[in-house]
């Protein structure tokens, strides 16, 4: 038994999650929620990130406080070899690792190849999206083919957050679907929480609050969202709109500025409530009357699951994975005009919020998902 194997045999199973950064996105929340349910006496999590826009952000602090090590790449780089050197340095300095979990779509091929070179026994490719929204040039086609081969060669396990996300990355290859975990009980509807939160947001009881949560990114389709809000405002004079999102680069700033400019052009800016990342997103779902998600694509759409856990009516892009329709959700097509989306949203005004959340939502419970992932992580004992 070599030194690394001896270390592993006498300690917790050590898992490395490779993220680009930590904001408040679906992948970051997947790791956060999973760690809540994992057996922390058996498993330890590290997260490697290429950069941290906000090292003191609430999610970074919360993960650190819970015992998750957040490790920033030693040197900033945009080159492939620089990435490989940085990841290798982290594995050498902070390992040995028993498991590596890569959530970076086709780039998982590179991550898992590096992990194989460093003899990490369990190498998980995890698909969290159905698109990468990159132009399908010849160069991109070659890249996808090579990365697909690398994933086939170097992944010991192929996982996806939905059937569509798995097919997008693995094609006809075998993979298993593991739901993204949420803290179901945290999102339970509360009339008191609703009343208190609406008061803080300055939303009257007779006003109809339509909400959206998502970073200011092309994928989230704010360009179409503002058109939906415009039509709702025209049809219902007592409507207001809540947008929760974040922007961490110039491209996202541009989308945000365009979004706000359109609100001013349509003369609905006084009815818009714009918030940044927040720890208390559950209270916001309570305050809303309907949740809208017109994303161009999603691997799953965790915000839609959270909203339905709060018994909140939702109107979602019909092209989202079927798993996203877990309860009170209507489907609309992006081919339909904004007025039809607006009518679908307003049709939910009589929906009741009381009662237990939809049964399907419990399949996303962080305790259940953690048990599934524990089995995969623990397979390192068999891999050695």
pLDDT 10s digits, 37-49: 999 999 999 999 9
Same-domain status, 274 and 342: yes
pLDDT digits (tens, 9 = 90+) for 188-216: 999 999 999 999 999 999 999 999 999 99
316 & 241 share domain: yes
> What is the extent of the structural domain holding 63?
3-181+365-383
Q: Residues 147-167: what's their mean pLDDT?
A: 96
Same domain, 149 and 45: yes
Chain centre distance of CA 48: 17
Distance CA 258, CA 32 (A): 32
CATH of the domain at 10: 3.40.50.2000
212/149 same-domain check? no
Q: Is the pLDDT of residue 269 over 50?
A: yes
pLDDT at residue 353, as a whole number: 85
Q: Does the pLDDT value for residue 161 go beyond 60? A: yes
pLDDT value of position 163: 96
Query: Are both 147 and 203 inside the same structural domain?
Result: no
- 381 confidence band (pLDDT: 50, 70, 90): low
pTM for the predicted model, two decimal places: 0.88
The verdict on 211 and 138 lying in the same domain is no
Residues 103 and 209 in one domain: no
Structure confidence at residue 5 as a pLDDT band (50, 70, 90):
very low
Whether residues 354 and 370 fall in one domain: no
Q: Which of 8-17, 137-146, 149-158, 182-191 has the lowest mean pLDDT?
A: 8-17
Convert the pLDDT of each residue in 336-364 to its tens digit.
Answer: 999 999 999 999 998 888 778 888 999 99
Rounded to a whole number of angstroms, the CA Rg of the chain reads 21
307-328 per-residue burial string, b: 16 or more CB within 10 A, e: under 16: bbbbbbbbbbbebbbebbbbbb
How is residue 215 annotated by DSSP? -
Q: Is 377 helix (H, G, I), strand (E, B) or coil?
A: helix
Q: What's the pLDDT score for residue 350?
A: 87
341 shares a domain with 228: yes
100 DSSP 8-state letter? E
Q: CA nearest 29: which of 103, 110, 131? A: 103
Least-confidence region, from 244-258, 295-309, 351-365: 351-365
Tell me the C-alpha to C-alpha distance, in Å, between residue 214 and each of 26, 143, 192, 240, 301: 9, 28, 25, 18, 10
User: Within this chain, do residues 97 and 241 fall inside the same structural domain, yes or no?
Assistant: no
pLDDT band at 3 (very low <50, low <70, confident <90, very high): very low
SS3 category, 132:
coil
Q: What is the C-alpha separation between 15 and 95, in angstroms, rounded?
A: 9
In terms of domains, do 263 and 377 share one?
no
Across 77-83, average pLDDT: 91
Taking only the tens place, the pLDDT of each residue in 323-335 is 999 988 999 999 9
Regarding whether 369 and 234 lie in a shared domain, the answer is no
Q: What is the tally of structural domains in the chain?
A: 2
> How much is the average pLDDT of 111-128?
97
Phi-psi domain of 133 (left: phi exceeds 0; alpha: psi -120 through 50; beta: other)? left
Handedness of CA 262, 267, 272, 275 (dihedral sign): positive
């Amino acid at each position: 038994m070599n030194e690394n194997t001896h270390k592993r045999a006498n300690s917790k199973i050590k898992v490395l999650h490779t993220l680009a950064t930590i904001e408040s996105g679906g992948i970051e929340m997947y790791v956060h929620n999973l760690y809540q349910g994992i057996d922390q006496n058996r498993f330890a999590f590290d997260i490697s990130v290429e950069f941290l826009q906000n090292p003191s952000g609430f999610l970074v602090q919360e993960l650190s406080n819970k015992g998750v090590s957040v490790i920033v790449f030693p040197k900033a780089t945009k080159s492939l070899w620089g990435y490989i050197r940085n990841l290798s340095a982290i594995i050498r300095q902070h390992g040995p690792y028993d498991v590596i979990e890569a959530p970076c779509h086709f780039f998982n091929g590179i991550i898992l190849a590096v992990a194989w070179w460093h003899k990490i026994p369990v190498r998980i490719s995890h698909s969290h999206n159905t698109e990468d929204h990159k132009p399908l040039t010849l160069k991109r086609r070659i890249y996808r083919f090579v990365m697909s081969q690398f994933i086939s060669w170097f992944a010991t396990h192929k996982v996806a957050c939905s059937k569509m996300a798995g097919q997008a990355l693995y094609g006809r290859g075998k993979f298993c679907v593991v739901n993204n975990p949420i803290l179901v009980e945290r999102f339970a509807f509360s009339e008191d929480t609703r009343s208190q939160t609406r008061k803080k947001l300055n939303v009257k009881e007779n006003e109809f609050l339509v909400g959206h949560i998502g970073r200011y990114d092309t994928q989230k389709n704010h360009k179409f969202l503002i058109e939906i809000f415009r039509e709702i405002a025209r049809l219902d004079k007592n409507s207001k709109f809540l947008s929760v999102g974040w922007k961490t680069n110039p491209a996202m700033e541009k989308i945000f500025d365009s979004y706000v400019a359109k609100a001013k052009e349509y003369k609905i800016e006084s009815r818009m409530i714009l918030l940044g990342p927040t720890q208390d997103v559950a209270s916001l779902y309570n305050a809303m009357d309907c949740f809208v998600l017109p994303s161009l694509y999603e691997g799953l759409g965790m915000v839609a699951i959270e909203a339905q856990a709060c018994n909140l009516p939702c109107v979602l892009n019909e092209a989202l994975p079927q798993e996203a329709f877990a309860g009170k959700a209507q489907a609309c097509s992006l081919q339909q005009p904004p007025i039809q989306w607006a009518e679908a949203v307003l049709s939910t005004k009589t929906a009741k919020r009381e009662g237990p959340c939809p049964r399907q939502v419990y399949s996303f419970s962080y305790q259940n998902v953690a048990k599934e992932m524990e089995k995969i992580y623990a397979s390192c004992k068999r891999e050695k």
